[in-house]
A and B are shown apart, each in its own frame.
Chain A
């Protein structure tokens, strides 16, 4: 299996632009997570999907952030408009059915908003 796939790996954009991050979970996994990692705050859960349905979006910082999972093999995290404080590494992770299993992380997207 190729593992969790994220694209792009690096993104540099200007303030105010729309940014779309993409994730393909491991086949057969029914849970998908989006995290943000910064030096100051560490790794934070943004949103969690189960069977393509958003279950917990309490970590989404504000309305500029939105996430979708149109099918079991694809998810997007969109920031519109982007701001410099959104600069971070964004990780996607997926998990087997059943909450007791570990999560498998993608390589991350390093976002820099100028």
Chain B
């Protein structure tokens, strides 16, 4: 059974700092790994999707890496802003139906 763990559970940083969120998964037989953002009271928004054959994806100030063999991914946020404050969830797609298994998320607070 696939399990996804995210560390840390919560993170508070001052504005402008670069930061890294971590995600690990137990079964390396994945199709892709995705990072989502969830704002309070809202649904999830996809940030980055890394296919299993890829090593990283970038979008603006966000960079996600994937090391499938070790079961790890990181989400790097450069020059953090208060608007980046949200919960960040990692999910891996595996199994015959590309089922997504989610971590419990990292609650990020960026202080002005």
Q: Are B43 and A100 in contact (CB under 8 A)?
A: no
Chain A, interface residues (CB within 8 Å), range: 20 to 34
Chain B, interface residues (CB within 8 Å), range: 20 to 34
Choose one: A43, A100, A110; the contact of B89 (CB below 8 Å). A43
Q: Are A91 and B102 in contact (CB under 8 A)?
A: no
Interface string of B49-76 (1 = CB under 8 A from A): 1010000000000000000000000000
Q: Are A102 and B42 in contact (CB under 8 A)?
A: no
Residues of B within 8 A of A (CB): 31-32, 34, 36, 41-46, 49, 51, 89, 93, 97-105
Interface of A is mostly: strand
Residues of A within 8 A of B (CB): 4, 33, 42-45, 48, 50, 55-56, 91, 93, 99-108, 110
A106 to B42, CA, bound (A): 8
